Amino acid sequence: LQGVVAVDGPSGTGKSTTARGLAMRLGARYLDTGAMYRAATLAVMRAGITLDATRTDAEGHDDAVAVATTADLQMSTDPAEPRVRLAGEDVGAEIRGADVTRNVSAVSAFAKVREHLVAEQRRIVAETVADGAGIVVEGRDIGTVVEPDAPLKIYLVASDHVRAGRRSAEDTSAGRAADTSTTGADLARRDRLDSSRAASPLRAADDAVEVDTSVLDVDGVLDRLEDLAAD
């Protein structure tokens, strides 16, 4: 693969597994932009700043914006071993914990944080493509904002029930307490915040191909995406 495949959609649709698996199959690089918003959020929390996780406006949050836009993030784009570093430290596990998950929608709603991270994402993509490699980029606004000219855009969806079940299974395997009903409520809250914020709300690009992952297993989804990438 050369160029960019954009994979967007809400959480629990199997985005990470799918995007990473597709990159492996295509011999491409892989960028998880959610990990960048999560690591920026961790930086804000480590700075001791308390966020109102129910708000999506930046008013009164200049300190959070300053920390999030100057955080020293390093992304490695090898799909076999994707890593996120914050000031040199591997924070891959910590950014998926409940505290960061609770606060990430608030930080990612700040327009200045998005501007900064989108520029970073475009830089990583441009460098990869200049090296002659393809890249699968996963997020919420890749097809609409980050790479609107991507030749292939996928928008993943799944039923609420399947999404909550997947997120609980992920939590359990990561050693965190899980309960499908609270996970479902957390997903619904995050969807609401992500879809209603003023800056780049979650939505499918007009030219995205929608793939429902509720009834397909991982290989089934990957077969379908590989076919789309070959077209």
Residues that bind ligand C5P (CB under 6 A): 11, 33-34, 37-38, 104-105, 108, 139-141, 190, 194
Q: What distance in Å separates the CA atoms of residue 127 and residue 154, rounded to the nearest whole number?
A: 22
Residue closer to ligand C5P by CB (options 27, 43) is: 43
Residue given tokens 């959609």 in the structure block: 9
In whole angstroms, the minimum distance from the beta carbon of 118 to ligand C5P comes to 8
Residue closer to ligand C5P by CB (options 3, 92) is: 92
Q: What distance in Å separates the CA atoms of residue 85 and residue 133, rounded to the nearest whole number?
A: 22
Residue closer to ligand C5P by CB (options 27, 98) is: 98
In whole angstroms, the minimum distance from the beta carbon of 108 to ligand C5P comes to 4
The rounded radius of gyration (Å) of the Cα atoms in the chain is 17
In whole angstroms, the minimum distance from the beta carbon of 35 to ligand C5P comes to 6
Beta bridge partners of 211: 156
Residue closer to ligand C5P by CB (options 27, 198) is: 198
Instruction: Name the residue among 66, 167, 155 with its Cα closest to residue 107.
Output: 66
SS (H, E, C) 141-202: CHHHHHCCCCCEEEEEECCHHHHHHHHHHHHHHCCCCCCHHHHHHHHHHHHHHHHHCCCCCC
Q: At what angle do helices 62-70 and 111-130 cross, to 10 degrees?
A: 10
In whole angstroms, the minimum distance from the beta carbon of 181 to ligand C5P comes to 19
Burial of 175 per CB tally in 10 Å (0-12, 13-18, 19+): exposed
Beta bridge partners of 3: 134
In whole angstroms, the minimum distance from the beta carbon of 117 to ligand C5P comes to 8
Residue closer to ligand C5P by CB (options 27, 53) is: 53
Residue closer to ligand C5P by CB (options 14, 34) is: 34
In whole angstroms, the minimum distance from the beta carbon of 228 to ligand C5P comes to 20
| Token pair in block for residue 152 | 């292939």
